[in-house]
Structure formats: C-alpha cells, structure tokens
Amino acid sequence: MRARQIRRDIRGIFSLGAIGAVGILGCTLPVVGDAAPGMQCTVAALQAKAPKDTTIAGADVVAAADKAPEHCLVKGTVATPGNTVDFQLALPKEWNGKFLFQGVGGFAGQMARLDTSLTRGYAAATTDTGHQGSSATDGSWALDNRPKEIDYGHRGTHVTTVAAKNLTAAYYGNVPRYAYFNGCSNGGRQALMEAQRYPQDFNGIIAGDPSFGALGYVRRAITYEFMFASPDRVLAPAKLEVLSKAVLAACDKNDGVADGLIGDPRLCKFDPAPLQCKPGAEEDCLTAGQVQMVKQIYGDARTPQGDTLYGFPIGHEAGATGWSLWITGKAAPVPQADGILNFAAADAPIGYRFVDGFMRYMAFEKDDPAYDWRHFEMTHDLPKIKTITTILSPTNADLQPLQQGGSKLLLYHGWSDPAISAYGTIDYYNKVVKAAGGKQKADDFVRLFLVPGMHHCTGGPGPNAFDTLTAMEQWVEKGNAPQVMIASHLTDGKVDRTRPLCAEPQVARYVGSGSIDQAENFRCAGP
C-alpha cells in the first residue's frame, strides 16, 4: 500500500511541470502550418524522410480528446553505438510552427506526457533516453551497460532531438521557426546537458530544479550514513512539523512580510539547537541526535577535491512533498544484521531509492548490485566514480557556444526543494555569470528564478504554478528578457495566492498595502 502511494507520489512529481499554469493563464494558438501536401501520418511516409539511423516504428492519427487536439503520433528509435533510443513525436494538425522537447524525471526509462505542448500547438517530442525502467527510481537497466548510461547521461536526448526536428520539418514542409527544451529535475539535468554539449539544438532551454548528477547521489549517501549510524537521528514526520514551525516562527518576517513563507532562506540564520528536548520532555522538541541530523541536512559537505555538496535551505521541511518524501522517510529505518539501520524497501524515501540505484548499477567501472553503499567513503571511493561523473554531471559553466548562438537559458529552482538543493543551482548560475564576463553579459542569455516555498518542481506552500514557456517565447521571439513571472498557489484546483517570481538577485517585496495573496501588491526589488 505504502509502495503504491510512493509510486503515485513519484509519478505526480515527475509528470507535473511548471507549465501546469498554462490552463490558468490562457494562451492563443497562432496557426501557421498544416501537414505538408502529400505527407501522410504513416510509417512508410515518415520513414522515407527519416534521417540516418532513425527507424519509424509507428505513426497513427490520434483524434482530438479532452487533453490534446488531433495529432499524428510518431514512435521511433535512433541507433547509437551499442544501443537504440526510443522517442515519441506528436505532430498536431494545427501547428504553431514550433518544436518543443519535453524532459523526463528520475532515471528516465519512460516518456513524458505531451498533452500540454500539443494544446499550445507545438510539435512535441520526448524520449525515455534509451532504456525502459519499471519506475523513475529503477536503475537496474544500467548494470554494466555503458552505452545506456551515456544515452541517459546526454546522448539519447540529443540524437532524438535531431531526429524529431528533422521529421517535424519533413512532415509540415517547413523547418520549425523555434525549438525549445523544457524539463525539471532529471529533465533540468537534460536541459543543462543540451546547453553545455549540444548548444545548437535549441533556441530556448528551460531547466527546472536541475540534478547535477553524480555528486548529488554522494551527498545523499553521506546523509543516510549519518542517519543510519544512530536510531536517535531518525526524524519522523511529526518531528519535521516541529522543525518547520520553529523555522517559520524565526524567519517568516525576515523577507518583510509575515505570510507563512520563507521568501529568501539566506536572510535567516536558523539554529535548531534550542529545539532540543529538556530532560523528561519528548513532544514538540528534538532529541540531541535529531538536532545533529537537522544540522547535517542543512550543512554543506566538501569533497577532498574541494567541491561543495550543498546542504538544503531552511524552510518548509514538513508536508507530504517535503523532507519525509525525499530524505527522512515516512516510516523509520530498522536495524540490520550488522547493527546499522536501513529502510525496508517499501518504506524507502525517494532520495534513498536514487542513491541506491546509482551506487549499485551506475557508479563504478564494474557494477556490483550487492554493493553496500552505507560504507561509501569520499577519499577512497570518489576516484572510482570519475567516469560516470563525467557522463551524468552537467557542471560545465562555460556556455559561450550557447550565448554566441543567440540561445537562451531559463533556470528556476524551488527554495524548499528537498530533492536537489537550490544552493547548487545558485552556485552553478554564479559560475555561468562569471564565465560569461559578468552579470550584464550573462543577463543577455541566462536568468535564474528562485521560488519561495516550492518543493521539488511542484508542491509546497509557496506559489508553484508558473508559465516558464511563455516567458521563454517572449524572450526568444520578442526579445523581452524575463524579469518577473507570476506564480499561483492552488488548493483543490483553486488559486488562493499569486506572487511574482523575480530574476535573481531580485526578490518580491510587498508594497505595504493590499492583499498579500495578490501579486499586484508586490514588486521585484534588489536584495
């Protein structure tokens, strides 16, 4: 039952993108194209125009339904050295003349939904990145399979992008006017890989809550090693409520408005030590071990090489999509034969599932599915994961080719993301700015939006539905660089708060009058 619930949680998280707000904000569909004369939605017709190494496996007209307009759904594969990569391409009858590639979450192994892109008139594509998994946390496909790891890492997204763009041009008889990539989490990692390695693929790249690959799993391994060393460090969901309330009480007003949100975690230095239970007390307080655990999760770690493994920002730790889902678990880990704790498989939080899959099936030159990563040690083991780090980790901050090609990169990250720390994305953004020659030059092609109170890609108490694609269209097609995006918070499908999201380093400041639930009463201002 619990395993099913977690699978549902994972699916929800990975299928909802930040473009979920499209329906709220509305949009128009400029129809500029239709199927090219004589180009039928058939395998034979598409195969005749397919690029080298591309095989068309299916082509079917899908009638208009609730979620998407009439379109031609193409299923195909691209051959890579040692592997084949599946893709899907949906070609709407009424085309807006543009192309959109949708990223996938976790360890991929499944396709993204294309409905939202189709509804906006896009020719839309996605890939499972060259393998099929039983879930987004299933890493077993990678066992001793370097070609699949490379395709997951970056190559699969690139080759299917090239194939899908070519097929789109052939089908409509027109090259797409603009090509965009949109992804969150692993989709954000795919986005950064495209920006760094294949900068000619897209005019605009949207990277949400991006995974930075191998070192993120190492960071998680260290956190779990610390947790499993003592039952006193285990944080039950009720303890996260205690923590979350204390952080909010201490820090809410630091951003200028008591609205139940931590607007900028950097403005508040929160120390969990005063939460430690007085002798005899157990409720509404933390044990000494739990205080240590909280400090470990907030704190940075460093590799022997000097890389920082960022801790998580303070704020909004509790809730169904907070720390318990990703880090601490909803049920406690239990002692194993060796005396060290471990989660029962069905109870493992998502972050645990990822580090487990990575360490057993991807990390090393020769994989060992029985490897006990609870003994991973950085000095000794980091050199052994060098190859996979290069394959998976989008850490190159020199984006000159992207910049010179005129393409744009829009980064966003939930401040309260318990899966991937926003501090890592801020660090990467700052490095990109430096490599570009300063903020003014970087502003031409890269912007970062931090989202107060948003958990991983969606969820959390902060306004977390916003339309990055419209912002990107405006930037690429009209030259209007995004300074602000309006985000909505929904409860039971109803908007109950709107708030501007501001381009870093600006933050949303309350003007001093009017409802704090309405975006119009806030302005983006310097930090």
**Residues annotated as catalytic (active site), given as ranges:** 185, 417, 456
Report DSSP state, residue 358: H
* Cβ-Cβ contacts under 8 Å for 378 (sequence gap 6 or more): 218, 222, 303, 304
User: Which of 101-109, 162-170, 245-253, 415-423 is the region at the interface with Ca ion (rule: CB under 5 A)?
Assistant: 245-253
Tokens of 39: 């180009």
Report DSSP state, residue 233: G
Question: Number of residues in contact with Ca ion, rule: CB under 5 A?
Answer: 5
- Are 462 and 415 in contact by the 8 Å Cβ rule? The answer is yes
| HEC assignment per residue over 143-174 | CCCHHHHHHHHHHHHHHHHHHHHHHHHHHHCC
Q: Is 504 in the site for Ca ion (CB under 5 A)?
A: no
Within 273-312, the residues that bind Ca ion by CB under 5 A are: none
Taking the complex as a whole, how short is the minimal distance between the CB of residue 259 and Ca ion, in angstroms? 5
Q: Specify the 3-state DSSP secondary structure of 89.
A: strand
Taking the complex as a whole, how short is the minimal distance between the CB of residue 118 and Ca ion, in angstroms? 38
User: Which of 132-140, 195-203, 261-269, 352-360 is the region at the interface with Ca ion (rule: CB under 5 A)?
Assistant: 261-269
- Are 287 and 239 in contact by the 8 Å Cβ rule? The answer is no
How far from 84 is each of 55, 113, 128, 355, 425, CA to CA, in Å? 10, 21, 11, 26, 31
* Cβ-Cβ contacts under 8 Å for 337 (sequence gap 6 or more): none
Question: What is the Cα Rg of the chain in Å?
Answer: 23
- Are 75 and 96 in contact by the 8 Å Cβ rule? The answer is no
Return the number of the residue (213 or 461) whose C-beta is nearest Ca ion. Answer: 461
CA 70, CA 124: separation in Å to the nearest integer?
A: 13
Within 38-77, the residues that bind Ca ion by CB under 5 A are: none
User: Which of 248-256, 264-272, 312-320, 353-361 is the region at the interface with Ca ion (rule: CB under 5 A)?
Assistant: 248-256
User: Which of 127-135, 251-259, 396-404, 507-515 is the region at the interface with Ca ion (rule: CB under 5 A)?
Assistant: 251-259
Return the number of the residue (20 or 263) whose C-beta is nearest Ca ion. Answer: 263
Tokens of 340: 């060290």
Return the number of the residue (213 or 452) whose C-beta is nearest Ca ion. Answer: 452
Taking the complex as a whole, how short is the minimal distance between the CB of residue 216 and Ca ion, in angstroms? 28
Taking the complex as a whole, how short is the minimal distance between the CB of residue 262 and Ca ion, in angstroms? 6
Nearest 5°: CA angle at 210, between 195 and 395?
Answer: 55
Taking the complex as a whole, how short is the minimal distance between the CB of residue 115 and Ca ion, in angstroms? 35
The correct pick among 255, 264, 356, 473 for binding Ca ion (CB under 5 A) is 255
* Cβ-Cβ contacts under 8 Å for 251 (sequence gap 6 or more): 262, 265, 267, 268, 270, 314, 315
Return the number of the residue (24 or 267) whose C-beta is nearest Ca ion. Answer: 267
User: Which of 111-119, 254-262, 414-422, 474-482 is the region at the interface with Ca ion (rule: CB under 5 A)?
Assistant: 254-262
CA 160, CA 324: separation in Å to the nearest integer?
A: 36
Which single residue is written with the structure tokens 């030059």?
441
Taking the complex as a whole, how short is the minimal distance between the CB of residue 263 and Ca ion, in angstroms? 5
Taking the complex as a whole, how short is the minimal distance between the CB of residue 316 and Ca ion, in angstroms? 11
CA 251, CA 258: separation in Å to the nearest integer?
A: 9
* Cβ-Cβ contacts under 8 Å for 426 (sequence gap 6 or more): 413, 448, 450, 504
Taking the complex as a whole, how short is the minimal distance between the CB of residue 514 and Ca ion, in angstroms? 16
Taking the complex as a whole, how short is the minimal distance between the CB of residue 242 and Ca ion, in angstroms? 20
Q: Which secondary structure element, helix H or strand E, spans residue 462, and what is its range?
A: none
The correct pick among 252, 368, 381, 443 for binding Ca ion (CB under 5 A) is 252
Alpha-helix runs per DSSP H in 206-305: 214-228, 237-251, 288-298
If one counts every other C-beta atom within 10 angstroms of the C-beta of residue 356, the result is 23
Nearest to 160, CA basis, from 222, 103, 218: 103
User: Which of 25-33, 88-96, 253-261, 517-525 is the region at the interface with Ca ion (rule: CB under 5 A)?
Assistant: 253-261
Return the number of the residue (371 or 510) whose C-beta is nearest Ca ion. Answer: 510
**Footprint on this chain of Ca ion (rule: CB under 5 A):** 252, 255, 259, 261, 263
